[in-house]
A = this chain, B = another copy of it.
């Protein structure tokens, strides 16, 4: 794991050793306020997708900030991707955890049931055999598992088709001992963005038009109505991949948003949602200046996670990050930047995709007003199973 070179609270951020993943808390707070402003008086809760950062300290702050205006009580839910992540966050005091993926192996189902003894937990299901296996495991374990039917709203991943197929699966789950049908979960498509080429052309956007998104949302909501019309209790419509928050705010059937970057906007989000600013950044150090036109950073794939897009160098005219190897980032220096950026200098990179970036680190350095406030463990890093 990352070498823990800790610095005392109050250390100026530029004195941190490099590379370092830093979160600016003032920016995070402002982004949280902006998302709540966009939702207005919607009663939809914000269920932070903590898999995007893996840090319980941040998760607790997101929950505290995320209660809906109209709800009156604090909303306690988070979304994770794996049972391993659920274990970490349950251990850190979270008590309403949605695992928004199917779990199919015996080991993972057994771990899920062990968690369900102490934590309100729900899991996504898109397959009748999987529902039957979960039911059997829950009964053996003497627990009740919450289940959300994963509806395919165009993400191209998993999920049953909306309408009849989802209705049929919901009926099976509702009839299965050991299972309790909570409702539906779907991704509207943010994660369906066209992938950015590794050469770094960052032309990707949410892989949907406004019309697509409206149609998908309506299909999910209609499916929820159909289930309820059958007399089946199905109180939850939980949406991931939301790009247009105001659309959701105008759809009262939506009970919660699995907010991928609640407060922690990455470059990709800021590109498409101008109300947000990047809170997470990577502090990188120049280690070489081999030619007038280039400099080499100590931050490469292993500390930036550029799978979905290259991190973007912040605010140096004439300089840009053009290529990353395992351990290094290459800056191209033109015009006023030529000949600048000598070994020992420090620069800021904005991660294109936070989830891939945070998953490379074991700690987030929390900073406010340019000074270190804390070294927060990314306790769920690597909990991919």
Contact = CB atoms under 8 A, between A and B. Distances in A.
A7 B159 CA distance: 31
A150 to B, nearest CB: 8
Copies in the complex: 2
A370 interface: no
Contacts of A18: 105, 385
Contacts of A373: none
Interface string A366-385: 00000000000000011111
Contacts of A383: 1-3
Interface string A151-195: 010001111100000000000000000000000000000010001
Interface of A is mostly: loop
Contact of A101 (B195, B327, B344): B327
B343 A129 contact: yes
A108 B344 CA distance: 11
A305 to B, nearest CB: 8
Contact of A158 (B84, B158, B290): B290
A87 interface: yes
A5 interface: yes
Nearest to A355: B326
Contacts of A298: 101, 384-385
A5 B360 CA distance: 21
Interface string A294-315: 0010111111011110000000
A2 B198 contact: no
Nearest to A296: B158
A382 B360 contact: yes
Contacts of A267: none
Given A129-B343, A159-B290, A285-B105, A301 B356 contact: yes
A94 interface: no
B356 A384 contact: no
Contact of A17 (B2, B107, B288, B324): B107
12 contacts: A3-B87, A5-B107, A101-B298, A152-B290, A157-B290, A158-B290, A159-B290, A195-B198, A196-B198, A302-B384, A307-B307, A326-B359
